[in-house]
A and B are shown apart, each in its own frame.
Chain A
Amino acid sequence: QLHLQESGPGLVKPSETLSLTCTVSGDSFNNVLYHWGWIRQPPGRGLEWIGSIYSTGSTSYNPSLKSQVTLSVDMSRNQVSLKLTSVTAADTALYYCALYVWGSYLGYWGQGALVTVSS
């Protein structure tokens, strides 16, 4: 089984940069092509896809967030990272990382990291 764990600050000030890391572990994780996604969920609301990155570094971003988001990958550490710049209260959410399966779907999820944007 694969295990994903998000980590990072739980509180970020408005206008600053939100940074999260996702680490993958598990017996079945090996050095093959992986496709990772980031999804967020504001409290009491639905899911919003942020973007995705292959282990090669190729990325796709939600057009509504593209100007704020940067995803990066460090396969030597089995990690992907999310940076979201110029945050506002509207960016307060539970942030999930996930691994794609069968090319298009999110089959493995982390438990989520709650990030609150507040001064």
Chain B
Amino acid sequence: EIVLTQSPATLSLSPGERATLSCRASQSVGNYVAWYQQKPGQAPRLLIYDASTRAADIPHNFSGSGFGTDFTLTISSVQPEDFAVYYCQQRSNSLITFGQGTRLEIK
């Protein structure tokens, strides 16, 4: 099983700051990585797939990068509505695993 490790566990920022979230895979997953945003009481929402492609209706201040084992989600300027928990996800051999999540909180 491929393990995804996200860091940091919690990220405290002020609105307008840049957020950088990391996801590391225990072995190469190519570019088969997605990022999800989950707000309290809501289902996760797909933000980024194939490591760097924004899903429909996702603002341009969200971007993804990486290949192989190291991946990054960047929010160029954090907005009040962006404070949430973010999960990375990979697919390998038809099996899916998620990272443990990074909580983005207001500083």
Is B49 a contact partner of A63 (Cβ separation < 8 A)? Answer: no
Q: Would you give the shortest CB distance from A83 to chain B, in whole angstroms?
A: 19
Which of B43, B50, B101 lies in contact with A110, CB distance below 8 A? B43
Inside 8 A of A37's CB, which chain B residues have their CB? 96
Chain A proximity of B51: nearest CB distance (Å): 11
Rounded to whole angstroms, the CA-CA distance of A37 and B34 in the bound complex is 15
B:29-84 near A, CB below 8 Å: 32, 34, 36, 43-46, 49-50, 55
Q: In the complex, what residues of B have CB within 8 A of residue A109's CB?
A: 43-45
B89's partner among A52, A103, A105 (CB-CB below 8 A) is A105
- A107 interface contact, C-beta 8 A: yes
Is the Cβ of A104 less than 8 Å from the Cβ of B95? Answer: no
Size of chain A's interface in residues, with CB distance under 8 A?
22
Given A105-B49, A106-B89, A49:B43 Cβ within 8 A: no
CA A80 to CA B97, docked complex, whole Å: 21
If A60-B94, A62-B95, A107-B55 touch, whether A101 touches B46 (CB-CB below 8 Å) is yes
Interface pair B98/A48, CB less than 8 Å apart: yes
Query: Which of A47, A63, A103 is the most central at the interface, judged by chain B CB atoms within 10 Å of its CB?
Result: A47
Interface string of A107-119 (1 = CB under 8 A from B): 1011110000000
Cα-based distance from A52 to B94 in the complex (angstroms): 9
Are A104 and B32 in touch, CB under 8 angstroms?
Answer: yes
A112 to B95, CA, bound (A): 21
B-side residues, CB < 8 A to A, are 1, 32, 34, 36, 43-46, 49-50, 55, 87, 89, 91, 94-101
Further 4 A-B residue pairs, CB within 8 A, beyond A107-B55, A109-B45: A49-B98, A62-B95, A104-B34, A109-B43
Sample (18) of A-B pairs whose CB atoms are under 8 Å apart: A46-B87, A46-B98, A48-B98, A49-B98, A52-B94, A60-B94, A96-B43, A96-B44, A98-B43, A101-B49, A102-B49, A103-B91, A104-B32, A104-B96, A105-B46, A106-B46, A107-B55, A110-B43
